[in-house]
Structure 1
Amino acid sequence: MRLTLLALILLTLPLIPVVEAKTVRYVADTLEVPLRAGASLRHKIVRMLPSGTPVEVLDSGDDKGFTLVKASDGGVQGWMPSQYLMETPSARDALAQSQLELERVRSENASLKQRLDTLATQKGDVESSVSQISADNHRITQEIAQIRRTAANAIAIDQQNKELQERVVTLERNLQIAQQENQSLADRNQRDWFLLGSGVLLSGIVLGLVLPRLRVQRRSRWGEL
């Protein structure tokens, strides 16, 4: 049964019409409205205005179905059918304006992203600089502390040197005084020894002169006895 049904389907396939794919196109949204010299279709066209062109209304002329307008781009005046005038821009122009605004926003967004990346890079550089400055500040603080300790030690050593210099000056002065006193004592001793020697010598001379006389006198006395 199934084989019979399958055979019938295969036989009917050539009878089914083939549906061809259709190509779809859209009418372009481009319209030009004639601007005429008068309020009727009989008047000559002074200019063709593309759709979406802003115009200034000079005379409504609703009873004629035409409106006197002035093109904002070139200052040309003329009459055009009132049915083509709208209070808001056309959808095509609004879409184009929206696309321009979208492109502007995208451009600003890209610029902001680039600026953000730049700021992020600058932030990293600043943080690195701050870290380096902090390390330098810590190092300089330690160096200043070391310099202060060294300066304090230098001041103490300088004070000690001054005290030692004063002691050396005092000792030199005392040494000079002692040397002078020693020289005076030496001179005095030498003078005393000279005087003592002179006295001894003088005493010897006196004794040498006196003793012979005393002996002579003693002998004379012994002779007289």
Structure 2
Amino acid sequence: MSALRYLVSALRLLALGSLLFGAAAQAQNTAYVSDEVFIVLHAGPGTNFRWIAKLNPGTALTPTGTAEDGDWTEVSTQAGTTGWVQSEFLSQEKPAQVLLPEVQRRLATLEERNAELRVELDAASQARENNAELASTTQAELQATAEELAALKKTSSRAIQLDTDNRRLVEDVETLRSEVDMLKADNQRLSEKLRSGAFLDGALAVLLGVGITLVVPRLWPRRRSSSSWA
């Protein structure tokens, strides 16, 4: 708030300075009736000339000439009326009657601008608070996103490792299946060999038995019957 008051004071000083600067800039072309009393506009440079108009304090005049003694100045009013006034009642600076309304209008403008600046300041303060809140929320969301990303990376790494292990296990299973198939084939061949060997052994045993049955009785001589010797 102190900054706002400082700004308002600075604007007021600037306004007064601009008014004074404007008055100084126009001093060469404009003169004003002093703020003490009204004066008379004469038709010539002297009080013995007829009156043309009565000029109120603060009336703006344009000097167009000066009498030889410098006591009288020829002037022209804003309405275009030309005449002479006593030089001592003219001022190069705006009197209070002219300056005060201008300052008041300028101050009213500054007060209005002050109100606008106050609204803008309040809006800026609110926006700053909103931005701070938004920044805090964004930071929290960023942190949550970073944590989620880290978790996803960890899960992804595990999934890749599991996939690799699964592929390796599949390869191992296929290898074991091939080995089992080979063992089954070897077992089949051995079984067939064993069956063939047993058949041959059985056949040999039968032949051997038949041979013994035929040969052994011939190895012993027959006994003669007792009746033949009678």
Category of TM-score, reference length = shorter chain: 0.5 to 0.7
**TM-fit CA distance, 1:71:** 4.2
| Aligned-residue identity in percent | 16
Runs of 4+ off more than 6 Å: 39-42, 65-68
Which whole-Å CA distance do the structure 2 matches of 1:117 and 1:206 have between them?
A: 130
Task: Give 1:155-170 correspondences, 5 Å limit.
Answer: 155-170=153-168
Unmatched runs of 5 consecutive residues or more in structure 2:
1-36, 224-230
Which whole-Å CA distance do the structure 2 matches of 1:69 and 1:220 have between them?
A: 191
**TM-fit CA distance, 1:132:** 1.1
Which whole-Å CA distance do the structure 1 matches of 2:71 and 2:66 have between them?
A: 11
Counterpart of 1:34?
43
The answer as to whether partners of 2:71 and 2:87 remain within 8 angstroms in 1 is no
Unmatched runs of 5 consecutive residues or more in structure 1:
1-27
Task: Give 1:1-225 correspondences, 5 Å limit.
Answer: 29=38, 31-35=40-44, 48=52, 50-51=54-55, 53-57=61-65, 59-60=67-68, 62=69, 69=74, 71=76, 84-89=85-90, 97-223=95-221
Are the structure 2 counterparts of residues 145 and 67 from structure 1 closer, same or farther at C-alpha, using a change threshold of 3 Å? closer
The answer as to whether partners of 1:56 and 1:72 remain within 8 angstroms in 2 is no
Are the structure 2 counterparts of residues 215 and 59 from structure 1 closer, same or farther at C-alpha, using a change threshold of 3 Å? same
Match of 2:90, SS state, is: coil
> 2:63 is matched by which residue type in structure 1?
V
Which whole-Å CA distance do the structure 1 matches of 2:77 and 2:41 have between them?
A: 16
**Larger RCO (alpha carbons 8 Å, 6+ apart):** 2
Q: What per-residue deviation string (whole Å, max 9, x for no partner) do you get for residues 118-167 of structure 1?
A: 11111111111111111111111111111111111111111111111111
**TM-fit CA distance, 1:49:** 5.8
Aligned length: 182
Are the structure 2 counterparts of residues 146 and 41 from structure 1 closer, same or farther at C-alpha, using a change threshold of 3 Å? closer
> 1:222 is matched by which residue type in structure 2?
W
Are the structure 2 counterparts of residues 115 and 224 from structure 1 closer, same or farther at C-alpha, using a change threshold of 3 Å? farther
TM-score between both structures, scaled by the size of structure 1: 0.66
